[in-house]
Amino acid sequence: MKILMIATNNIRKAKVATATLIILIAIATIFLYVGISVLSNLDTFIDGKNAETNGAHFISITDGSHDAAIDQIYESIDSYVSSEREEGLMSMSSKYQNVDTGEEAYSLSTLFLNRETPRDISRVTIIDEAAQIPENGVIVPYVLKIANGYKTGDTLKFMVDDNTTELEIAGFYEDLMFASPSNVSMYKLYVGDRQFDELMNQPVYGSKCSYSAVITDDIDNTEAFESQFTKDLKTVWPERTGSYATLSYGTMKIGVAVFINIIMAVLVAFSIIILAIAAIVIKFSTTTHIENNIKNIGALEAMGYTSGQILGSILVEYLMITAVGFAMGLGASVLISPVITNVVSSSIGLRWTTGIYPRTVLISLAVIMISVLGISYFSAFKIKKITPLAALRNGIETHHFGKNRAPLERTKLSLNMAMGYKSLVFNKRQNLIAGLIIMMLSLVTVFSFAAYYNFAVDKSAMIKLIGLETAEVQVTATENEETIFDEIAAMPGVEDTVKLDSFDGVIKYDKKESGASTRITEDYSRLKVDTCVKGRMPVNDNEIALTSIVLNKLGAQMGDTVSIDYNGTTREFLVVGVTQQFNMLGRGAAITTAGMKKLMPVYQEKNLMIYLVDGENTKSFVTRINNQYANQNIQTASYFESIEMMLDSFEASIKIVVTGCLGIIAVIIVFVMFLVIRVRILRERTRLGVSKALGFTSNQLIGQILISQMPVIIGASALGAVAGYFATNPLMALMLAANGILNCEFYVDPGLVLLTILGISMLGLATVLIVANSIRKISPCRMFEEGVD
């Protein structure tokens, strides 16, 4: 109890430091708790959501020509349990516009299904269902509600070329497979019987397809099912005579969660930064506490307290502070849970519910407690070494002076400048600590700005990271492709064309294998986006470049020889480079057309990327091509637009995270400066008093503090910001390392760096001015009485 008394007394004496710590710990708690709770519960949440509707484990969409064979393949796979097949309408070049929200039309492929078909797999549970579903009613994915602000009753314009049908939104559904267009660039829409028939009867809207959903006995191994299926299918499905697509639950789950995982990882990382700052504050305040109270400590020890008891009192003090801070943080995170729900839901496209997770509470409590108590133990540990006598004698202070910087006799600086400069040099240690904190924060600020800029303002670096070409239009032709492609290349308005194809390949190495989206082109130097980060892109027919994720999965390295199995033909390829990409979960490979010809001698590129000259309208170009080749079997899509659309859905999340980070940084800077100046004024009150006695006015003394403090603030923020300028990309790469990103080329605007320096400096200046104002209250002779009487 005695210890508790000393501890509460300490807290009462150091109100500011206590408040700072409580706030820091509360903020760290919010971040840590939210981050961990989302990270650790997302998986079970998604599984639970899927189980609710008996969601499909595997989906295949084909043109319907091999249904019987496909069913046979299903049944031949061990883990198969049941399947359902229904008819759907596949529209590859569809466009949408929500008339009511006033958004611009955007392109996205569509799969229409009949809402009234009875189904057991992926049952449709309608959210916000219209009281009466109209004839043209459509059930759309939940992500449109949460991320794009669609409401029941809105009119959704569905367009293919010049044909338009108006649909009315009658509700929303949740389905992991089609949760977010960022994952599968396709909407799955449910329409009523009559509307479905109407659409089916108009071939302009798309082609009939066969949609089948499969349930397996092991939800965690759906990818194995998928690869087995693809492998088997190739034996019955001749060369590229039709199209099919497969989706597996496992892949989709990872894909859906990847962005929210990144955001939450950023939160956790940020909470660790804040804990680090809290550690610095603890170290700082314990040291000053010990220095200021060394006589009291000595007296207590002389009275018979053991140094362990005193150390214990400091630990109890921080224990109480942590408990309060943690409770506040936990309360705050419950309060902000609607925001979290929104961020998570709009990112995963499923209705996330935030709750209290006792395990997460315990984990974050443990992390915070251990770090706070550990730091306070180590920084207060030197109490153990203080003997009561030494403490009572106020310690033996030894100053080592270097040479006299700026002797007043000769210096050109004004009086205040010189005094400020001297105290700046004298308070090296404190300044270093404050400087370090500001540097760290300034770096984080630049990083946040840069992240925001590249995610939300100029997305080209992000697109490069994703690993997609920046071609505006993509044309796929299945016949006469050479002539058509040559003609298109010669069209006006076309700047360049590249034949770029891709297929799902299986890469093998040393008995291990990995799927990879394998790109094929003649000459990689002609691509506009260079995804190579190590080595080089393939040039010769026996060369391949792989992403680091594929390499790690295979256990291979550059210089090893891997093999690709294609329809029974196996060829060896030498790994000559490492690439990075974000899409396809980072699983990618690249070979040359000559290399592809080794696998399939009759291979022809069927996919053309078209880069338009600046100012050329993508939409009208697509229409032109469609008109010109109306009688040919080609598909045209606005390629780049759909990528941009997909990125838009992250913008909101990133915005919230960045704004939050900036606000918190501001709070921390204010608190740290507050603390530093307060402690300095307390410590130097004798010197300040003597200065006042000698005739310095309060303004002069405030000016001196300003001069001694501002270089640190400006210098540290400048250093931090410049470090941020250089470190943003490595940091980003580090954060995305799990997705196989090794190298990042985010654009960091020098203007933002300057803005950061300026902003932090102004904030610091304001804080210093406000706190230093308490100098006015110091009376020149109060402190003398303490010494005399």
Partner 1 sequence: MKIKRLIIIFTLLLVASYTVLFYYINATHINSVDVTQINRVVKTIEKDWANGDTEKTGANGGMAYQITLVTDENYQSLLFEGIRNRHTIMDLTSVSADGQAEVLGKVIFLTDGSEEEMMKNNLLTMITVVFLMVLIMVDVVLGMVHFSILRPFGIMKQFAQKIADGDLEFRLPMDRGNYFGAFTESFDLMREELRKARQGEYEANISKKELVAELSHDIKTPVATIKAICELLKVKLGGVKFDAQAGEAAETTIAESMEKIAVIHSKADVIDALISNLFHATLEELEMLKVNVSEQPSTVIIQMFKEMDNFGKIRFKNDLAECLISCDPLRLGQVIDNIISNSDKYAGTDIDIWFDLDQTEKYLKVKIRDDGDGVNPDEWPLVCEKFFRGSGEAVQNTPGSGLGLYLARQFMEGMGGSIRCYNEGGFVVELRIKVV
Partner 2 sequence: MENTILKAEMLSKTYSNGSIMQHVLKNLNIDIKAGDFTVIMGSSGSGKSTLLYALSGMDKPTLGKIDFKGEEISKYSNDRLAVFRRKHCGFVFQQIYLNETMSVLDNIIISGLLVSRDKKAIAARAKELLHQVGMTEVCYQKYPSQLSGGEAQRVAIVRALINAPEIVFADEPTGALNSTNAINVLDVMTEVNASGQSIIMVTHDIKTARRANRILYLKDGVIIDELKLGSYVKDDPKRHKILREFLERMGW
Residues that bind partner 1 (CB under 8 A): 306-308, 384, 535-536, 539-540, 542-543, 558-560, 574-577, 601
Tokens of 644: 């941009």
Which span sits near partner 2 by CB under 8 A: 181-189, 204-212, 417-425, 742-750?
A: 417-425
Packing angle of the helix pair 685-694, 698-735 (nearest 10 deg)? 140
Min dist. Cβ of residue 465 to partner 1 (A): 25
Task: Report the chain's C-alpha Rg in angstroms.
Answer: 33
Question: Choosing among partner 2, partner 1, none, which partner's interface includes residue 415 (Cβ < 5 to 8 Å by kind)?
Answer: partner 2
Are the CB atoms for 309 and 473 separated by under 8 Å?
no
Q: Which of 356, 687, 737, 762 binds partner 2 (CB under 8 A)?
A: 687
- Report how far residue 473's alpha carbon sits from residue 608's, in angstroms, rounded to the nearest whole number: 8
Nearest Cα neighbor of 230 from 57, 56, 82, 60 is 60
Q: Which of 132, 409, 511, 615 binds partner 2 (CB under 8 A)?
A: 409
Question: Choosing among partner 1, partner 2, none, which partner's interface includes residue 781 (Cβ < 5 to 8 Å by kind)?
Answer: partner 2
Whichever of 576 and 661 has its CB closer to partner 1, that residue is 576
Element (H, E) at 59: strand 58-62
Using CB under 8 A as the binding rule, the residues of this chain from 698 to 717 that contact partner 2 are 698-699
Q: Which of 75, 239, 614, 789 binds partner 2 (CB under 8 A)?
A: 789
Q: How many helices, marked H, and strands, marked E, lie in the chain?
A: 24, 22
Min dist. Cβ of residue 285 to partner 1 (A): 23
Min dist. Cβ of residue 451 to partner 1 (A): 33
Min dist. Cβ of residue 512 to partner 1 (A): 19
Whichever of 2 and 393 has its CB closer to partner 1, that residue is 2
Min dist. Cβ of residue 396 to partner 2 (A): 12
Question: Phi, psi (5° rounding) for residue 569?
Answer: -90, 130
Q: What is the distance, to the nearest Å, from the Cα of residue 237 to the centroid of all Cα atoms in its chain? A: 40
Torsion sign across C-alpha atoms 273, 276, 282, 285: negative
Min dist. Cβ of residue 704 to partner 2 (A): 10
Whichever of 292 and 632 has its CB closer to partner 2, that residue is 292
Contact call for residue 694 and partner 2 (CB under 8 A): yes
Are the CB atoms for 213 and 58 separated by under 8 Å?
yes
Min dist. Cβ of residue 6 to partner 1 (A): 17
Contact call for residue 419 and partner 2 (CB under 8 A): yes
Question: Choosing among partner 2, partner 1, none, which partner's interface includes residue 469 (Cβ < 5 to 8 Å by kind)?
Answer: none
Residue 287 contacts by C-beta under 8 Å, 6 or more apart in sequence? Answer: 379
**DSSP structural state of residue 584:** G
Taking the CB of residue 336, how many other CB atoms lie within 10 A of it?
14
- Report how far residue 445's alpha carbon sits from residue 659's, in angstroms, rounded to the nearest whole number: 10
Are the CB atoms for 184 and 178 separated by under 8 Å?
yes
Contact call for residue 432 and partner 2 (CB under 8 A): no
Min dist. Cβ of residue 559 to partner 1 (A): 4
H helices of 521-615, in order, are: 548-554, 593-599
Whichever of 310 and 440 has its CB closer to partner 1, that residue is 310
Min dist. Cβ of residue 662 to partner 2 (A): 37
Burial, 77: exposed, middle or buried (Cβ in 10 Å; 0-12, 13-18, 19+)?
middle
Residue type, 218: D
Min dist. Cβ of residue 684 to partner 2 (A): 10
Whichever of 528 and 776 has its CB closer to partner 2, that residue is 776
Contact call for residue 12 and partner 2 (CB under 8 A): no
Whichever of 201 and 404 has its CB closer to partner 2, that residue is 404
> Can you tell me whether residue 389 is helix, strand or coil?
helix
Nearest Cα neighbor of 491 from 479, 478, 473 is 473
Contact call for residue 695 and partner 2 (CB under 8 A): yes
Q: Which of 377, 426, 611, 629 binds partner 2 (CB under 8 A)?
A: 426
Q: What is the distance, to the nearest Å, from the Cα of residue 27 to the centroid of all Cα atoms in its chain? A: 19
Residue reference for tokens 């308490």: 774
Whichever of 415 and 754 has its CB closer to partner 2, that residue is 415
Which span sits near partner 2 by CB under 8 A: 34-42, 147-155, 366-374, 697-705?
A: 697-705
Residue 90 contacts by C-beta under 8 Å, 6 or more apart in sequence? Answer: 61, 109, 110, 111, 112, 206, 207, 208, 209
Contact call for residue 399 and partner 2 (CB under 8 A): yes
Question: Choosing among partner 2, partner 1, none, which partner's interface includes residue 3 (Cβ < 5 to 8 Å by kind)?
Answer: none
Contact call for residue 396 and partner 2 (CB under 8 A): no
Q: What does the per-residue mask of binding to partner 2 show for 631-670, with x meaning CB under 8 A? A: ----------------------------------------
Q: Which of 335, 415, 754, 762 binds partner 2 (CB under 8 A)?
A: 415
Min dist. Cβ of residue 540 to partner 1 (A): 4
- Report how far residue 490's alpha carbon sits from residue 495's, in angstroms, rounded to the nearest whole number: 9
Are the CB atoms for 742 and 534 separated by under 8 Å?
yes
Min dist. Cβ of residue 383 to partner 1 (A): 11
Min dist. Cβ of residue 676 to partner 2 (A): 17
Nearest Cα neighbor of 421 from 409, 436, 406 is 406
Residue reference for tokens 């210089």: 559
Which span sits near partner 2 by CB under 8 A: 95-103, 125-133, 332-340, 684-692?
A: 684-692
Contact call for residue 408 and partner 2 (CB under 8 A): yes
- Report how far residue 382's alpha carbon sits from residue 291's, in angstroms, rounded to the nearest whole number: 11
Residue type, 84: E
* Residues lying near partner 2 in the complex (CB under 8 A): 399, 401, 404, 407-410, 415, 418-419, 422-423, 425-426, 686-687, 690-699, 776, 779-782, 784-785, 787-789
